[in-house]
Chain A
């Protein structure tokens, strides 16, 4: 479980996060949603420790991140997997080498065991074997996301962060990636936090949703509660498209 308590973050005079508190539960797909510029990416980067917060606590199962020294943060990060918006695969390595990389850095496995584990992860995300030895630039965006997920789970992380996992993907592939993240979260009992503004994802796998508006958390609930909310900003955000307006009507 990750608990965020009264987190404040400013960039010079601009206060981006205002007293944000939230609980991200283990074994659930937790989502941070909000409009562009609302502060959701800053919140996620603060939770990971890529931004240093001004005030507050970020507890990973009781371990407060802002109190940790650099080497302690490094140790904690070995329990963390992350799926980046642009996949962030290493260009100089093949698909298989990308997944083997964290194992080589942090596990004591032998070469064969590492390859076995990496292949298991790649098969788990349904990547075809013929793609294992290709360079990241030679595979599609959807496949790159799968490889990134495989790399993120290679070390069996306790915490998984996904930054806009569906960005640049077609609706069908987006759905597959959402399902994959959802399955992995439940199967390995991971605390997953997804930063998104894709409403399909929210409706599909949002088990614990946090809505950020101008740096403040103004709502928390799940994908069922979202239909019965009287938060105007949230309604404007979620039901902006005609499709979701119709879905809301049907739901009522």
Chain B
């Protein structure tokens, strides 16, 4: 029952969000701010995690594929495909669900409990559209760039392993990341990330928008936003993978 109620509430909220803004001027004022807050401010965490995970994957793949029968390009190939297919889209989005999701839910939740959303409603403003639409659009616009950035940095992380250690040679690594490249994987990954970006921003906004009570309840709303958007990311990952690669 609770799932049905929440799904219904979410759909009704989206019906109010996904309409033309009352004033485009106000939307375009808010939009760059959200690009900066949700996108650019997520760059440091994307950089750190991608470089390190790229490097770690390269080390682990090399150490676990020491069989002389395996071709020398195996490490580069595995690292590249793991980054392209799963890490830079799904895992990165799960991490961003924590950062961006909690940010959106707590910001909107605080506005709700301090009556700022009521104030907007009393003025006759479609508060859901005014507050949530710039966040969703900004995050959906920024996500493909973050994913491409993550892919490139992950590959650079792996290259650094070849450069700084003797675990793998840079030549073997470079040969591996160029071997049997399937451009469709990039398209698949970017498409997934767009869906995930929409899920993270809209689900988190939903929990923030319907927060009630006090500071503790805003905290609960943030937790629910992160947990539920993560579950939805995993579910939609399975669905999209089955549809596009299955």
Contact = CB atoms under 8 A, between A and B. Distances in A.
A106 B124 contact: yes
A153 interface: no
Contacts of A101: 123
Contact of B126 (A50, A74, A81, A104): A74
B171 interface: no
Interface string A69-95: 000011111101110111011110000
A74 B126 CA distance: 8
B125 interface: yes
A105 interface: yes
Interface string A40-80: 00000000101000000000000000000000011111101
B208 to A, nearest CB: 14
Given A104-B23, A104-B26, A105-B22, A77 B116 contact: no
Contacts of B114: 86, 88, 91
Interface in B99-129: 110-111, 114-116, 118-119, 121-126
Q: Is the interface of B mostly helix, strand, loop or mixed?
A: helix
B124 A78 contact: yes
A105 B23 contact: yes
B5 interface: no
B115 A77 contact: no
Interface residues of A, number: 24
A82 B124 contact: no
A101 B111 CA distance: 16
A77 B123 contact: yes
A91 B114 CA distance: 10
Given A104-B25, A105-B26, A85 B124 contact: no
Given A104-B25, A104-B26, A82 B122 contact: yes
Interface string B79-117: 000000000000000000000000000000011001110
B126 A88 contact: no
A88 B115 contact: yes
B124 A86 contact: no
A84 B119 contact: yes
A221 interface: no
A85 B115 contact: yes
A141 interface: no
Given A81-B122, A104-B25, A105-B123, 13 more contacts: A50-B118, A50-B121, A77-B122, A80-B122, A80-B123, A82-B118, A82-B119, A82-B122, A90-B119, A91-B111, A101-B123, A104-B26, A105-B23
26 contacts: A50-B118, A50-B121, A50-B122, A74-B124, A75-B124, A77-B122, A78-B124, A80-B124, A84-B118, A86-B114, A86-B115, A88-B114, A88-B115, A88-B118, A88-B119, A89-B116, A91-B110, A91-B116, A102-B123, A104-B23, A104-B26, A105-B26, A105-B124, A105-B125, A106-B123, A106-B124
The 5 closest A-B pairs by CB, nearest first: A77-B124, A88-B115, A88-B119, A74-B124, A82-B122
